[in-house]
């Protein structure tokens, strides 16, 4: 149940003489069934045969100075070192590194920011402030006259029904029977002989209305005079400010979510091909939220680039021969490791171009056809996760070779587009330099350079890959909505003279882990869900908020509506914002004509926290009073 699984972390230490930096090492065991080639299968057991280690720069690790809580458990050496005031609470800022100030102080429920400060108090500003600045600032103001959200009426409360007689008594009180017909509307309606008297408009009001109409007509004439048509028949068009909520985008979002929810494993084969795709902007945010999963494919791409560009089996170092070529089992193990290492990845594959995968000759080969190895036309190992119905949800991992399918994978659009981009032009590839060192003995007495020192190879960056639009993979293996990242890899031509495209590596990430972004965005941002948040933007602004369901995040309501500067949260419910899911639910109730409180989910104008006396105004009022008396 440990989130780190078998990974062990060392204490921070200074890497003296090599990187000369403070680092932390993460290590994990390499397990194999031993003895490997025993005929007695029952004797084979999983045993640790090696250890894989990775050094991480310690100064890039964030510290959490907030108090101990559910999200900040013990032990934490820096817990409680944040300097937030009692009216605020601490929130950590990720990506700040190993230094002070990586937090922000937000107002507690029942408090609001002063009118001269917009947004939370940054921890970096608090740490840099002087003592006098800290004493008088970084404080939130208390909200007075809070309202209580309406709850269901208890059963012991008896509510009296209204009586029609009370209304008659009320009308008698406000309009006695002896009142004039002009004052009593009921008498005016009952008396058919009475005539309605027209009220007279004051002369000043008439002049003001006439002046306003004259100004309006002059303004319209000036606009018509300034307008110059660019072509015959063009009419004057007035541009208006774009709304922060777009009803057309909201309706389009409903259609996208309806298609996703109504496509599943059972009916995908009965639907046309176009219904198994979502628009490209429906996958907005995948390049940031799934960057870690995409770099899994990029890591395998870099390994293939390094291997194919540097390994030469014909090299000889005395009695030491060169390394062999890639083999099928190795690549199958790599794609299986990609799927097993991350629960968000449903499938991963390495697809070689035609006649680019060359295997070493088998051991004890006597066939003259395989003396120089085997060159396969297609080789596309693909691994995926499979949950059987009879295993109580236990995940199983399987692998298959796409080379055996009827339709070749080289005809797929994602493969053809990537090949067309990198077939002849390798401009933009990054050159990486590695300096491999080998221990002289198991004790690590000294380091010896590897035969090829340093190693240089060209490989793609993260930006060189491509995110495909959301797709339902109805292939009998994945059978889920996924977004796919494709990264190319490169090798040398047979003469070792230039680079050439060798294939792609893919990872399929489950779409349900993608969070929607409904907050307002620029018109140039390709986001299908922007400008669909139901906040009251006159008094509120929108911020993304992760949903509490980690396995189902491709849903509406992943935002919060916080009060703008000068406004305050009016309810006493231990919150300081309106949740997006509640806003969506109340809005849908309003559309269905059901009782709702959507119009009450707004922020109110912030008032003074207390009543104080201004001696200056009091003195001025007193002198004005004496001046008028005299």
The 10s digit of each residue's pLDDT in 537-589 is: 999 999 998 887 777 788 999 999 999 888 889 988 888 899 999 999 999 99
What CA–CA distance (Å, rounded) separates 70 from 77?
Answer: 16
* Candidate from 176-180, 384-388, 482-486 with smallest mean pLDDT: 176-180
Closest Cα to residue 566, out of 539, 536, 599?
539
Grouping H, G, I as helix, E, B as strand and the rest as coil, residue 412 is: coil
Span 123-140, mean pLDDT? 92
* Candidate from 28-42, 230-244, 402-416, 459-473 with smallest mean pLDDT: 230-244
What CA–CA distance (Å, rounded) separates 414 from 338?
Answer: 20
Grouping H, G, I as helix, E, B as strand and the rest as coil, residue 626 is: helix
pLDDT number for residue 184: 46
Span 352-375, mean pLDDT? 72
What CA–CA distance (Å, rounded) separates 309 from 455?
Answer: 10
Span 176-195, mean pLDDT? 47
Contacts (Cβ under 8 Å, ≥6 apart) of 485: 286, 290, 293, 294, 297, 465, 466, 467, 468, 506, 507, 509
Answer yes or no: is pLDDT of 526 > 70. yes
Answer yes or no: is pLDDT of 244 > 60. yes
pLDDT number for residue 138: 92
- For the ranges 41-55, 145-159, 225-239, the maximum mean pLDDT occurs at 41-55
Q: Report strand pairing: 345-352 vs 381-387.
A: antiparallel
- For the ranges 30-39, 124-133, 541-550, the maximum mean pLDDT occurs at 124-133
pLDDT tens digits, one per residue of 433-444: 988 888 888 787
Query: What b-and-e string marks burial along 117-140, b requiring 16 or more CB atoms within 10 Å of the CB?
Result: eeebbbbbebbebeeeebeeebbb
Which is more confidently placed, 90 or 448?
90
* Candidate from 118-132, 188-202, 383-397 with smallest mean pLDDT: 188-202
CB-count exposure of residue 569 (10 Å: 0-12, 13-18, 19+):
buried
Give the whole-number percent of the chain exceeding pLDDT 90: 42
Grouping H, G, I as helix, E, B as strand and the rest as coil, residue 281 is: helix
Answer yes or no: is pLDDT of 144 > 90. no
Q: Are 383 and 397 in contact (CB under 8 A)?
A: yes
Answer yes or no: is pLDDT of 379 > 60. yes
Rama region for 10: left / alpha / beta (φ>0; ψ in -120 to 50; rest): beta
What CA–CA distance (Å, rounded) separates 288 from 61?
Answer: 19
pLDDT number for residue 188: 44
Which is more confidently placed, 194 or 215?
215
Kind and range of the H or E run holding 219 = helix 203-226
Q: Are 475 and 306 in contact (CB under 8 A)?
A: no
What CA–CA distance (Å, rounded) separates 178 from 242?
Answer: 58
CA 565, 571, 575, 577 dihedral sign is: negative
pLDDT number for residue 319: 62
pLDDT number for residue 261: 92
Quickly state the pLDDT bin for 148 (edges 50, 70, 90): confident
pLDDT number for residue 4: 53
Answer yes or no: is pLDDT of 165 > 90. no
Span 489-514, mean pLDDT? 92
Q: Are 283 and 514 in contact (CB under 8 A)?
A: yes
What mean pLDDT is reported for the chain?
A: 83
pLDDT number for residue 329: 86
* Candidate from 134-148, 149-163, 347-361 with smallest mean pLDDT: 149-163
pLDDT number for residue 511: 93
Answer yes or no: is pLDDT of 187 > 70. no
Span 322-330, mean pLDDT? 78
- Per-residue HEC secondary structure of 48-72 comes to EEEEEEEEEEHHHCCCCCCCCECCE
Kind and range of the H or E run holding 399 = strand 395-401
What CA–CA distance (Å, rounded) separates 557 from 553?
Answer: 9
In order of start, what are the domains of the chain with their CATH numbers?
8-59 (no CATH), 62-144 (no CATH), 286-513 (3.30.450.20)
Which is more confidently placed, 78 or 371?
78
Rama region for 119: left / alpha / beta (φ>0; ψ in -120 to 50; rest): left
User: What tokens does 440 get?
Assistant: 């002289």
What CA–CA distance (Å, rounded) separates 408 from 299?
Answer: 25
Answer yes or no: is pLDDT of 183 > 50. no
The answer to whether the bond into 45 is cis (omega within 30° of 0) is no
Instruction: Give whole-number Cα distances, 512 to 280, 283, 461, in Å.
Output: 16, 11, 26
Answer yes or no: is pLDDT of 136 > 50. yes
Beta-ladder partners of 382: 349, 400
Span 316-337, mean pLDDT? 79
- For the ranges 108-122, 241-255, 293-307, the maximum mean pLDDT occurs at 293-307
In degrees and rounded to multiples of 5, residue 594 shows phi and psi of -90, 160
DSSP 420: H
∠ CA(160), CA(164), CA(165), 5° rounding?
100
């Amino acid at each position: 149940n440990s989130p780190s699984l078998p990974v062990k972390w060392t204490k921070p230490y200074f890497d003296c003489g090599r990187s000369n930096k403070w680092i932390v090492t993460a290590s994990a065991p390499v397990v194999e069934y031993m003895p490997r080639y025993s005929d007695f299968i029952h004797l084979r057991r999983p045993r640790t045969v090696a250890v894989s280690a990775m050094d991480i720069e310690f100064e890039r690790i964030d510290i959490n100075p907030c108090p101990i809580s559910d999200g900040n458990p013990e032990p934490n050496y820096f817990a409680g070192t944040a300097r937030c005031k009692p009216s605020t609470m601490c929130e950590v800022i990720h990506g700040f590194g190993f230094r002070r100030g990586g937090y922000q102080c937000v107002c507690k429920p029942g408090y609001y920011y002063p009118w001269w400060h917009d947004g939370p108090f940054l921890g970096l500003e608090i740490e840099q402030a002087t003592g006098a600045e800290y004493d008088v600032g970084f404080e939130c103001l208390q909200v007075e006259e809070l309202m209580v959200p309406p709850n269901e009426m208890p059963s012991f409360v008896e509510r009296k029904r209204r009586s029609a007689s009370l209304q008659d008594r009320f009308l008698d009180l406000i309009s006695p029977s002896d009142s004039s017909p002009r004052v009593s509307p009921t008498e005016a309606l009952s008396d058919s002989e009475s005539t309605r008297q027209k009220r007279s408009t004051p002369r000043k009001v008439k002049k003001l209305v006439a002046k306003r109409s004259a100004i309006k007509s002059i303004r319209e004439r000036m606009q018509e005079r300034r307008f110059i048509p660019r072509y015959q028949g063009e009419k004057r068009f007035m541009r208006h400010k774009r709304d922060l909520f777009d009803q057309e985008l909201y309706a389009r979002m409903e259609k996208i979510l309806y298609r996703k929810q109504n496509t599943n494993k059972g009916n995908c084969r009965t639907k046309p091909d176009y219904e198994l795709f979502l628009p490209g902007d429906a996958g907005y945010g995948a390049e940031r939220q799934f960057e870690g999963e995409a770099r899994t494919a990029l890591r395998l791409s870099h390994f293939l680039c390094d291997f194919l560009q540097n390994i030469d089996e014909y090299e000889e170092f005395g009695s030491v021969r060169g390394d062999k070529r890639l083999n099928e089992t190795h690549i199958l193990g790599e794609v299986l490791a990609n799927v097993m290492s991350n629960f968000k990845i449903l499938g991963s594959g390495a697809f070689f171009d035609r006649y680019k995968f060359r295997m070493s000759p088998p051991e004890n080969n006597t066939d003259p056809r395989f003396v120089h190895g085997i060159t396969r036309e297609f080789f596309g190992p693909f691994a995926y996760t499979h949950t059987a119905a009879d295993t109580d949800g236990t995940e199983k991992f399987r692998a298959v070779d796409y080379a055996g399918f009827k339709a070749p994978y080289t005809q797929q659009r994602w493969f053809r587009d990537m090949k067309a981009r990198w077939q002849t032009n390798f401009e933009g590839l990054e050159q990486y330099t590695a300096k491999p060192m080998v221990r002289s003995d198991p004790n690590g007495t000294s380091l010896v350079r590897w035969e090829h020192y340093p190693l240089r190879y060209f490989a793609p960056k993260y930006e060189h890959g491509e995110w495909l639009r959301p797709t339902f993979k109805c292939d009998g293996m994945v059978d889920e909505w996924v977004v796919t990242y494709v990264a190319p890899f490169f090798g040398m031509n047979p003469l070792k003279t230039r680079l050439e495209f060798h294939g792609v590596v893919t990872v399929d990430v489950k779409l349900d882990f993608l969070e929607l972004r409904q907050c307002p965005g620029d018109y140039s941002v390709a986001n299908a869900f922007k400008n669909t948040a139901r906040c009251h933007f006159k008094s509120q602004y929108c911020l993304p908020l992760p949903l509490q369901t980690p396995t189902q995040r491709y849903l509406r309501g992943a935002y919060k509506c916080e009060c703008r500067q000068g406004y305050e949260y009016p309810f006493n419910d231990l919150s300081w914002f309106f949740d997006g899911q509640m806003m969506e639910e109340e809005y849908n109730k309003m559309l269905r004509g059901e009782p709702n409180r959507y119009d009450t989910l707004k922020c109110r104008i912030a008032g003074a926290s207390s009543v104080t006396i201004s001696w200056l105004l009091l003195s001025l009022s007193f002198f004005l009073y004496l001046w008028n008396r005299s």
